[in-house]
Structure 1
Amino acid sequence: MIFIPPVKLVKADLALFTRLNDGRDVAVKVLSVESRQGDKEFMAELSSVSNISQENLVKLNGGCIEGRRRILVYDYMEHNSLARILLDDKARSKLDWRVRKEICIEIARGLVHIHEEVKPHIVHRDIKASNILLEKNFHPRISDFGLSKLFPEHVSHITTRVAGTLGYIAPEYAVTGHLTRKSDVYSYGVLILQIVSGRSAVDFDLELGEHYLVQKAWEMHMDNRLLDIADSTLQHDGNFSEKEALHFLKVGLHCVQEKCNLRPKMSAAIEMMMIDQNDQIKVNDFNNVEIRQPGVIINNMDLKIARRKNERSSKLSISSMQCPQVYPFNTRV
């Protein structure tokens, strides 16, 4: 692993990048200073993650610490992040249905690798659209392992300070600080809903205030209108399949169920989305799976309250804690 000294950042193509001495263009990300992790622990974890190589993970080339700043250096991806494309109507139209299916499946394969194949297992902790980078052919790679945690074999969960992004963070993790691989599964479910709908995880409306994609998808599912949430730009795609889109949306809802033990493992989620030799999604295999209501943290204040409760008493069990204004959330998992 190369530990790269502080570099001068150049802004181009909506990304921060620099060119190394060997001619490679690399993306440079400066992490926030909120983490309480010590410098030695940060570098040890950085070193562990850098040894992982898989086609759906961005290669971590190195990093450094400069004062309170922590810098990570990745391979540069031509299309930048999935979040930027989803926010741009013109760019989003380039994501046809075939590409969106592949993005969902390839991200899942990357998560299977870190959750189930490498040892110790790794939980990313911040799966979101801005941490999915896209190559020239729109092949996705998971980036930014700065918040990731290593899971030794036979450890079901670890208790840690809550980190992540509002709209993607699993409610039981926000309340208790108990981190599991199912926390990433929740975030991945939100990501599927985003990819199919083209919407943000959290939208702000002047009249309605903050509106959460998970809530919206669940409400439409209960009204038998879930397909209405699909991105309207897909209607101009001759290969768009409403049947497949509805299926992927249901897989997303399956991943964000409030009870974490009802969420699938990532390997099971892939099986739900796989395409057979006739280029057909295995829809019938999933039709009998019951989807229950999701949980979601409503706003930043609730997340801060949950974090403070967790910091005051990290030993509290899930059943003994009340989640502030979580919709809807059952404290038993």
Structure 2
Amino acid sequence: MKILINTPKLDKLGGVSNHYTGLKKYWRNNVVYNQIGRRFYFPGFFLLPFDIIFFIIKLLMFRPELVVLNPSLNQKAYFRDSIYLKVSKLLQFKVVVFFHGWDKQFEKKITKKSFIKSYGVSDSIIILAKEFKNKIRHWGYNNPIFLTTTKVDDKLLKGFTYSPINNKLKVIFFARITYTKGVYIAMDVFNEFQKLHPKATLDIIGDGPELKKAINYASSKEIKNIVFHGQINGENLKQILSQSNINLFPTNHGEGMPTTILESMAFGHVIITKLVGGLKDFFKNNQMGWAINSDNKDLFLLRLMELAQNTALIDKIGKLNYKYAKDNFYASKVASKLESIFEEISANK
């Protein structure tokens, strides 16, 4: 089966790029990536006409049995990918639309009429959370909708077996460094926690537009035991994750299924986050950690204090998360499930 998948530039920071980079080596079918959007230092809107022409050429030369589009539900991607959908259907190709991120504010602007006009002709839709499925049904979409997840790269976990980090409080913030991802809340919470537990550490992993500001903020607040690693991958990332045990992620971003949470679970971390996107469909509060639906920093601090006073709880949660991630989120399994969905869509008349 031949499948053409539109992706952002694969070395670009972000969940969609990370997702398809990690899945690439596990496809069984003939899968070709078509990179679109911002690259070569040119903005995406400037490249869009050229991307569409190249997309049409690929469609006509490759003749895929299925086209996979990968927008997030935000203004730019929503309207951009509606063009790719219309072009594909005009040329009589089957298309599945895979929505990743989900902007709640943009969601409010969508009407039943506008959604069906933009995406009603897609043969199927894939989403990362049941609440997204319910919203799409509310907008009047009647074709099949499939639920899937993001992934953890098997290679990242190669050789790793969970074991507790005894009597250490090793916290990470692991995400793109933006205001909405919660990096400042995380630093403020850790700053108060560190005053009570001076041996605790915070590793901030990720790059992004707020990185320099975040570094300056930590310096101005004189936060101790904090290290900014920037964007790291491979063995460097594995080393940090394998030596950590708590993921503090107070995000307000329009998350679909935050991959970094799944990666943290695979390394046996306790998760302290907000109940966003697809996390709502599997996250067991008080068993996998805590989902706090508030920006109240004291509530996040309270959970860190609870773990500091009960390190056996860190081990208990760590074992559960490690096993759950291994059973559900490895890239080889996610790729296999996605291909089953693709094959089912392609087989439908």
Larger Rg: 2
TM-score when normalising by structure 1: 0.28
TM-score when normalising by structure 2: 0.27
